[in-house]
Amino acid sequence: MTAIILSDLKRRLFTEGLLDEPTIDDGFVSGRARFEAAGNDVTVHVDPDFDDADDDDFDVSGLLEMVSRVLAFPEARWRTVLDRIAEEIEDAAGDPDAIAEKTDLRLDLEVHSITVLPDAALLSFVAPRQFPESWIRAQLDDELEIEDVFVDEKLEGTPS
């Protein structure tokens, strides 16, 4: 049943114009999409999160709506998100020597990928000048408000 849901999700993400050339891999549907708020294309991973739902009552339409809401993120609100991420990272860094190059983090942050779940989204950023060896991640709740910000070390095979 899971394979049928993933196939349906893939088909609908494509036919509704949300993802270009979606593929199924390891329980996700992934593809490229335009993220207007940031002004670039990103990889979008759609995670049905089957652990929290029964196949019989899985809400594909709700997940599609969440993908649509994330991709339609308002540009003005996007600037607020970038400000908050930068503030949290700068506060957490504490030691200015831990930062590779001192520039405004807001100017260095570039969204690389978005993982969409039924009730959350995870934004993955690169910051090549200040954090060249790390991913900066921001978890958004179902209202697309920042729930958590953290830094992950880039390791071989670490998902984007």
Residue 63 and residue 50 in contact, taking contact as beta carbons nearer than 8 Å: no
Q: Fill in the amino acid letter for 64.
A: L
- 3-48 pLDDT tens trace: 888 999 999 999 999 999 999 998 899 999 999 999 999 999 999 9
**The overall pTM is greater than 0.85:** yes
What is the distance between the alpha carbons of residues 25 and 13, in angstroms, rounded to a whole number? Answer: 15
